[in-house]
Structure 1
Amino acid sequence: MKKTISALKFCAVCSVIMSSFFACDKDFASVESDVLGDDNTNFQTNRESLPILAYNKKLNSLQIDGLTSNLLGVFNDPAFGQTTASIVTQVTPSSYSPDFGDDTVIDSVVMTIPYYSRITGLDDEGLNEYTIGDSLYGNAEAPIKLTVFKNEYFLRDFDPTAELGDVQYYYSKADGEINVTDNFALNGSSTINFDDHKYTTDTILAIPSFIPSAKRILLVTRDEDNEVTSSTNLAPSFRVKLDTDFWQSHIIDQEDNDVLSNASAFKNYFRGLYFKAETVSADGHMLMLNLASSDANIVIYYSYNTTTGTGDNATTTTSNSTYTLSFSGKRLNTFINNYNLQTLADGNSTEGDDKLYLKGTEGSMAVVDLFPTDEDLKTFIDNHRVLLENGEYKKDERGNYILQRLINDAQLIVYEDQSMNTGGDEDFHKYDRLYAYDVNNNIPLIDYSVDPISNTADPFNSIVVHLGQRRENDENGQAKYKIRITEHLNNILLRDSTNTKVGLVLSTNVNSTTNAKILNSEGSEVTNVPATSIITPRGTILHGTNDNVSETVKMKLEVFFTEPKE
Structure 2
Amino acid sequence: MIYNIRKIFTILSLMILGGVLVYNCEPEPDSLGEQLFLDGAAEGKDVSYDLIAYNIDNNDTIRTDAFKLLNLISSGSTSSIAVLGAFNENQFGMQKASYFTQVRLASYNPDFGTNAVVDSVVLVLKPVVTLDSITTTTNESYVYPDGNVDAKKIVNTYPIKKFGKAKLNGGKLTLQVNEVTEFMNGVNDIVYSDKNFGIDPNVLGSKEISGNASAVTITKDSDGSSLFSSNADIRIPLSTSVFQSKIINKKGQPELNDVSNFIRHFRGLKISVVESDGYLFQFTPNDMELIMYYKNDKVENGNTTRPQTKYEFAVKASNMHSAYYEYNRDGARINNYAFGNTTSGDLKLYAQGMGGNSIGIKFKKEEIEELKKLYQNDKAAIISAKIRIYTDKSEWDNPYTKPGSNDFTIVQRDRDSSGKETTAFTTDYTSLGALFIPVRFYNRSSDNTNYYDFTVTKSLKDIVESGVDYTNKYFKIDLAQFAVNSSGSIAGYNYSTRAFSIGRAVFVGSDPSNEDKIQLRVTFGTKK
- SS of the equivalent of 1:199 reads strand
After superposition, give the CA deviation of every residue in 1:137-184 in whole Å (9 maximum; x if it has no partner): 3224243343211000111238xxxxxxxx5322234xxxxxxxxxxx
Post-superposition shift, 1:483? 1.7
> For the residues of structure 2 that align with 1:142 and 1:407, how far apart are their CA atoms?
51
> For the residues of structure 2 that align with 1:108 and 1:228, how far apart are their CA atoms?
25
Q: Which residue in the other structure is 1:164 paired with?
A: none
> For the residues of structure 2 that align with 1:255 and 1:89, how far apart are their CA atoms?
23
Normalising by structure 1, report the TM-score. 0.69
After superposition, give the CA deviation of every residue in 1:103-142 in whole Å (9 maximum; x if it has no partner): 3233322221011013215667999966445344322424
Q: Which residue in the other structure is 1:84 paired with?
A: 96
Q: 1:439 is matched with which residue: 413, 436, 443? A: 413
The reply to whether residue 467 of structure 1 matches residue 466 of structure 2 is no
Counterpart residue type for residue 506 of structure 2: I
> For the residues of structure 2 that align with 1:506 and 1:330, how far apart are their CA atoms?
26
- SS of the equivalent of 2:260 reads helix
Counterpart residue type for residue 58 of structure 1: D
Counterpart residue type for residue 199 of structure 1: D
Q: Which residue in the other structure is 2:389 paired with?
A: 414
> For the residues of structure 2 that align with 1:135 and 1:264, how far apart are their CA atoms?
38
Conserved 8 A contact 1:212-1:238: no
Q: Which residue in the other structure is 1:260 paired with?
A: 256
Conserved 8 A contact 1:147-1:205: yes
Q: 2:295 is matched with which residue: 291, 299, 303? A: 303
- Going from structure 1 to structure 2, the CA distance change for 1:485 and 1:269 (only over 3 Å counts) comes to same
- Note the aligned Cα RMSD (angstroms): 4.1
> For the residues of structure 1 that align with 2:468 and 2:3, how far apart are their CA atoms?
21
- SS of the equivalent of 2:263 reads helix
Q: 1:321 is matched with which residue: 309, 321, 333? A: 309
Q: Which residue in the other structure is 2:130 paired with?
A: 118
Normalising by structure 2, report the TM-score. 0.74
> For the residues of structure 1 that align with 2:7 and 2:361, how far apart are their CA atoms?
25
Conserved 8 A contact 1:122-1:128: no
Q: Which segments of 5 or more consecutive residues in structure 2 lack a partner in the other structure? A: 14-20, 70-80, 139-153, 415-421, 486-492
Q: Which residue in the other structure is 2:78 paired with?
A: none
1:301-380 counterparts in 2 under 5 A? 301-307=293-299, 319-328=307-316, 329-339=319-329, 340-344=331-335, 345-369=338-362, 371-373=363-365, 377=368, 380=371
1:238-253 counterparts in 2 under 5 A? 238-253=234-249
The reply to whether residue 544 of structure 1 matches residue 482 of structure 2 is no
- Going from structure 1 to structure 2, the CA distance change for 1:475 and 1:53 (only over 3 Å counts) comes to farther
The reply to whether residue 109 of structure 1 matches residue 134 of structure 2 is no
Q: Which residue in the other structure is 2:55 paired with?
A: 56
> For the residues of structure 2 that align with 1:111 and 1:252, how far apart are their CA atoms?
17
What's the % identity of the aligned pairs? 20
Q: Which residue in the other structure is 1:199 paired with?
A: 200
Counterpart residue type for residue 262 of structure 2: F
After superposition, give the CA deviation of every residue in 1:201-224 in whole Å (9 maximum; x if it has no partner): x531134xx23443532132559x
- Going from structure 1 to structure 2, the CA distance change for 1:133 and 1:248 (only over 3 Å counts) comes to closer
After superposition, give the CA deviation of every residue in 1:311-336 in whole Å (9 maximum; x if it has no partner): xx766565543221233322222222
Q: Which residue in the other structure is 2:105 paired with?
A: 93
Q: Which residue in the other structure is 2:274 paired with?
A: 278
- Going from structure 1 to structure 2, the CA distance change for 1:381 and 1:116 (only over 3 Å counts) comes to same
Q: Which segments of 5 or more consecutive residues in structure 1 lack a partner in the other structure? A: 1-11, 159-166, 174-184, 186-192, 388-403, 454-462, 515-527
After superposition, give the CA deviation of every residue in 1:1-30 in whole Å (9 maximum; x if it has no partner): xxxxxxxxxxx7866787899897573246
> For the residues of structure 1 that align with 2:215 and 2:464, how far apart are their CA atoms?
57
Counterpart residue type for residue 219 of structure 1: T
Post-superposition shift, 1:290? 1.4
> For the residues of structure 2 that align with 1:291 and 1:42, how far apart are their CA atoms?
55
- SS of the equivalent of 1:501 reads strand
The reply to whether residue 288 of structure 1 matches residue 282 of structure 2 is yes
Q: 1:503 is matched with which residue: 462, 468, 476? A: 476
Counterpart residue type for residue 265 of structure 1: N
Conserved 8 A contact 2:158-2:214: no
- Going from structure 1 to structure 2, the CA distance change for 1:13 and 1:405 (only over 3 Å counts) comes to farther
> For the residues of structure 2 that align with 1:330 and 1:115, how far apart are their CA atoms?
20
After superposition, give the CA deviation of every residue in 1:74-113 in whole Å (9 maximum; x if it has no partner): 2123422222222222123222222222232333222210
The reply to whether residue 216 of structure 1 matches residue 208 of structure 2 is no
Q: Which residue in the other structure is 2:65 paired with?
A: 65
> For the residues of structure 2 that align with 1:483 and 1:41, how far apart are their CA atoms?
26
Counterpart residue type for residue 354 of structure 2: T
Q: 2:193 is matched with which residue: 172, 184, 202? A: 172
Q: 1:535 is matched with which residue: 474, 491, 500? A: 500
Counterpart residue type for residue 170 of structure 1: V
Conserved 8 A contact 1:418-1:478: yes
